[in-house]
Amino acid sequence: MAPRPDKVTNAGPAAVKPKLTDNKCSPLTYVSGDTDNDGRVDLGETWVFQCKYKVTANVGTPLTNKATVADAQCPASGWFLGGDRHSSNDSDTWTLLVVP
């Protein structure tokens, strides 16, 4: 199993209720960060999520992962009910080599 933390931040101005997806595992589990316990990523908060999945690739194989966060209250592209006006930074992709 490979646990991996995903971190979510919000540049504001409004608080955003996050919706996370990961192309390697599901569900992502909330770990920490909601300092005021309102269920929304506020300006300045960093939320941490974790997900575990079983790696079945051979040693030395590159493993590419992509995690994405979205504004759960955004009804359609172009509408901004929360604080996410820059969807270009809502994903992160990285590659690791499988080790024994």
Domain count, the chain: 1
Note down pLDDT in tens along the chain; length 100 residues: 344 557 888 877 778 888 888 888 888 889 999 999 999 988 888 999 888 888 888 999 998 888 888 777 765 555 555 555 666 667 788 888 888 8
- HEC string for the chain: CEEEEEEEECCCCCCECEEEEECCCCCCEEEECCCCCCCCECCCCEEEEEEEECCCCCCCCEEEEEEEEEECCCCCCCCCCCCCCCHHHCEEEEEEECCC
pTM: 0.73
Q: Is residue 21 part of a domain?
A: yes
Range of the domain at 33: 2-72+90-97
Q: Is residue 29 part of a domain?
A: yes
Provide the pLDDT for residue 25.
84
Asked if the structure places residue 84 within a domain, the reply is no
Residue 79 lies in a domain: no
Position 83 in a domain: no
Rounded to whole angstroms, the Cα distance separating 100 from 98 reads: 7
On whether residue 50 sits in a domain, the answer given is yes
**12 in any annotated domain:** yes
